[in-house]
A and B are shown apart, each in its own frame.
Chain A
């Protein structure tokens, strides 16, 4: 599979795939034992797709998430984001990529506690040099879009978990990223707020045409995903299209 992907010219890859992972391996040394967190994972994500990486905890999905987000380096294998091999980037280029091309959403929200919702959303825009007034306007719009227009001056501590995660979603959209990477975005939310967030992610995906990749074990995510990549013990167990899942469910009924 890896060879066939590499045979495609880089420029075409860039147009078609936002994320491309080729034979990713991540080994950790724990004393004398080598732990294979990821053992040869290959997949790609098309522009505009909603892909969920699913698997039990310890299956390697967060490790994989960190690799495709350029937050961590694989032991071997290649990750292309928008056709760029991220292993080839220096610290400056990597920071630029994180700021512009990728929007992260974390399980623990990770808002900056001393900044207001508005300032949290503005932060990625400040990093890329957006003029202050423009950043404020855009941050307001994004917060309105996620339904927090009335809470823009609240600090994270004054918001509920669901609200904080929506601020995080607005922040992820700040620089119009090509892809949103969400690691267990519903992991710290209850059923109802989790569902709201999933619907918000789907809305972002369909209306703003942003590619969404989530790592999750929340089965509610299956309903909105175009494709589900099942990970087990550091390997891809299977890749399912939603159509197939729906078909299966249909047959069973």
Chain B
């Protein structure tokens, strides 16, 4: 054993990306719930940010910062909780697939990579949709703000939500033994 060269199974990034994009395309209906969770929260956040000058006029000046922070935090928590919940279901539905890949050489890291990559793409889609919708609502109600800054903020928060909410379910799925994953009944 020791004299043998230690070899590793691999999953090239372009292959992983290909599989993830295929999965998103073909299962769009099922994963829409993940996108909706992100979209709604980001739209909420963006529109509130635009409206904050109006809201701020009715509350004491020193409270404005805290007030907007609390609103952002609510949006963030709601989005993270909603996304994690829908991701747990999405990933549980794929335990068989995960078990199969593992029995043909996928390592824990590969499964983790696939799942997190997929979530990041979903959150980018959701974040962008949420930004557009939030901008519409915010401006429609007469709010003002810097759209460029808000775009950056929306995308960043969407991706952070994706990373946070996918890491636990993806980690859990990745470290299952093939037999556990294959035996799992949803």
Report which A residues bind B (CB closer than 8 A).
66, 69, 71-72, 84, 88, 91-93, 95-96, 98-100, 104, 106, 108, 110-115, 123-124, 126-129, 171, 174
Complex Cα–Cα for A100 and B8 (A): 11
The reply on B32 being an interface residue by CB < 8 A is: no
- Size of the chain B interface, CB-CB below 8 angstroms: 31
B147-186 interface code vs A (CB 8 A; 1 in, 0 out): 0000000000000000000000000000001110010000
Q: Which of B15, B103, B104, B107 contacts A92 (CB 8 A)?
A: B107
Supply 14 A–B pairs (Cβ within 8 Å), ascending by A.
Answer: A71-B178, A98-B105, A100-B105, A106-B182, A112-B97, A112-B101, A113-B97, A115-B22, A123-B104, A124-B105, A126-B12, A127-B104, A128-B9, A128-B10
Report which B residues bind A (CB closer than 8 A).
1, 6-12, 15, 19, 22-23, 26-27, 96-97, 99-108, 110, 177-179, 182
Residues of B near A96 (CB, < 8 A) are: 7-9, 105
Complex Cα–Cα for A214 and B79 (A): 48
Complex Cα–Cα for A114 and B182 (A): 17
Residues of B near A93 (CB, < 8 A) are: 6
Nearest 3 A/B pairs, CB to CB: A99-B105, A127-B105, A124-B104
Complex Cα–Cα for A84 and B3 (A): 13
Complex Cα–Cα for A123 and B177 (A): 19
User: Smallest Cβ distance from A241 to chain B, in angstroms?
Assistant: 30
Residues of A near B9 (CB, < 8 A) are: 92, 95-96, 99, 127-129
Complex Cα–Cα for A100 and B100 (A): 15
